[in-house]
Amino acid sequence: MSIDWSDITHVTKVDPAEDLPTNLDILDHTDLVIVGGSDGVTEANSLDAIERIRRALPDLPVFQEPYSSGHVSSETIDAVDYLSIPAVYNGDRDNFVAKHVEFFTEIAAKPQETLGAGLPVVGEVIASKGRDAVAQLSEKILPEGYIVQNLDSKAATESGVDEAYTTDQVAGAALATESFYDFPIFYVEYSGTYGGPEDVEAAANYLDDTVLFYGGGIETHEQTEEILDAGADAVVVGDCFHDDPEQFLETLP
Amino acid sequence: MSIDWSDITHVTKVDPAEDLPTNLDILDHTDLVIVGGSDGVTEANSLDAIERIRRALPDLPVFQEPYSSGHVSSETIDAVDYLSIPAVYNGDRDNFVAKHVEFFTEIAAKPQETLGAGLPVVGEVIASKGRDAVAQLSEKILPEGYIVQNLDSKAATESGVDEAYTTDQVAGAALATESFYDFPIFYVEYSGTYGGPEDVEAAANYLDDTVLFYGGGIETHEQTEEILDAGADAVVVGDCFHDDPEQFLETLP
């Protein structure tokens, strides 16, 4: 499935370790779902959340954002449109490059274990079929250039972020995404607090081909509009989807 | 200029702070020149080396590999086919992501200073023309995924590399380049010592769209052939170009 980004202005982040609302119909109003989290997340609850959302809304694009290769299997890969994988610019080395090399080292070394038991397991055939599975996986990977701007958030702690970027650095990271890393998404993450439009404006100025997401503290229609007016392609809403469906509906553009 | 990588099997790295051979005709046998270095390198000696090579061999592709934005100007950018910028997987954070964000932050914040005095300098026009200059620059940027495997080299010290990758990690870094970072080049650097074919074989197994370079200690035709047979697209030869033109000619495929 190829994504038409111009249709996507509202994204919902779903934590598979938390309860989903009984009625998933509220997702009818969002344009994309990203399933991912860290605490308590497993391959099994990720797959369960993905499949429930798929059943309720078959036409809605669904991504998995895995925190480790243990959250991924051939079943989750088959079930989603893309695997979105964050690269945190202002995080520690582990959360930019080391985690990725580790992830792909594991997949390259043991494709049949990482990508599912369905692969042949004898001699040369492993290598050749494993290689195909890896190629298939590669086509589904969507890297995201992230900055985490709320130092008090769990996301900052987990990504080893001890410094928020200045507005100039946000522009630089956006330009590095557009010109150097060529990641399809640049993601300004304020995780749990509303950051306002400044960083989004700074980033939007240097992004043409890159899609710009803003996430963090969005609770009202006005905040959504402010962020979209500042140049973001989409807002990402998370907590209130699980906690407060009424408020979730207020965040729609 | 777009590069036909299938024509490139021998690359010469030229240090602009060192003397060039009086007769540059020996470069007629190489397929690509990369101009770059750290000690004593300036924008002026980089531009001088680039222009001398251009005059001697107008059809030879020439890249600049800058170590900082201070080595780059609108003149060097205009004079080369591409700016190749290393991202060292097994280096410290500064040599993967931080250096790039810094580089682009500087360019985004002061395009007219970084990219030359020829840009308009009044009001809105700065921003708009500076933006064009940045877009032009972006088209010329060629990221290289690097691993530095000789811990005793200056390259390792400068890149903060304190651990060589295992063969599995080399494969993982190659797969990360192909699937995630999407850099056009993966570069196995043994800087000053011959590393043999193992890492090249491990990387080549996971590279389809990515070009594979090997550099380090190449002094004979047999070494060049061993590396190319192992799956590298090209060998990179540096020191003997400056020191020993006869030996340089022996490294040709």
pLDDT in tens, B162-217: 899 999 999 999 999 988 898 999 999 999 999 999 999 999 988 989 999 999 99
pLDDT of chain A along its 253 residues, tens only? 678 999 999 999 999 999 998 889 999 999 999 999 878 999 999 999 999 999 999 999 999 998 877 888 888 989 999 999 989 999 988 877 888 888 788 777 766 666 554 443 333 333 445 566 677 777 888 999 999 999 999 889 988 998 999 999 999 999 999 888 989 999 999 999 999 999 999 999 889 899 999 999 999 999 999 999 999 999 999 888 998 999 999 999 9
| Global confidence as pTM | 0.87
Q: Which of B92, B97, B128, B186 to mutate to test the interface with A (most CBs of A within 10 A)?
A: B97
| Residue A171 to residue B92, Cβ atoms within 8 A | no
pLDDT in tens, A26-35: 999 999 999 9
Q: What is the DSSP letter of A53?
A: H
| Residue B100 to residue A143, Cβ atoms within 8 A | no
Coil, helix or strand at residue A11: strand
What the block records as the tokens of A67 is: 């925190």
Contact between A204 and A212 under an 8 Å Cβ cutoff? The reply is yes
Q: Does A8 touch chain B (CB under 8 A)?
A: no
* C-alpha span between B19 and A216 (Å, rounded): 55
* C-alpha span between A245 and A191 (Å, rounded): 19
Q: Does A185 touch chain B (CB under 8 A)?
A: no
A101 interaction partners in chain B (CB closer than 8 Å): 89, 169, 172-173, 176
> What CATH homologous superfamily does B5-250 map to?
FMN-linked oxidoreductases (3.20.20.390)
Residue of B nearest to A98 (CA): B89
pLDDT in tens, B28-37: 999 999 999 8
Q: Domain boundaries in chain B?
A: 5-250
Q: Does B184 touch chain A (CB under 8 A)?
A: no
Q: Does B181 touch chain A (CB under 8 A)?
A: yes
Q: In the A/B pair of chains, how many CB contacts fall below 8 A? A: 116
* C-alpha span between A86 and A158 (Å, rounded): 12
Give CA separation, B198 vs B150, B165, B232, in Å: 14, 12, 11
pLDDT at B119 over 70: no
A142 interaction partners in chain B (CB closer than 8 Å): none
**Where does B26-166 have alpha helices with state H?**
43-56, 74-79, 93, 99-109, 111-114, 123-139, 154-159
Residue of A nearest to B142 (CA): A180
Q: Does B104 touch chain A (CB under 8 A)?
A: yes
* C-alpha span between B241 and B253 (Å, rounded): 15
**Strand partners of residue A85:** A143
What pLDDT does A231 receive? 97
Q: Does A157 touch chain B (CB under 8 A)?
A: no
**Where does chain A have alpha helices with state H?**
43-56, 74-79, 93, 99-109, 111-114, 123-139, 154-159, 167-176, 198-204, 221-229, 239-243, 245-250
What pLDDT does B22 receive? 86
Q: Does A106 touch chain B (CB under 8 A)?
A: yes
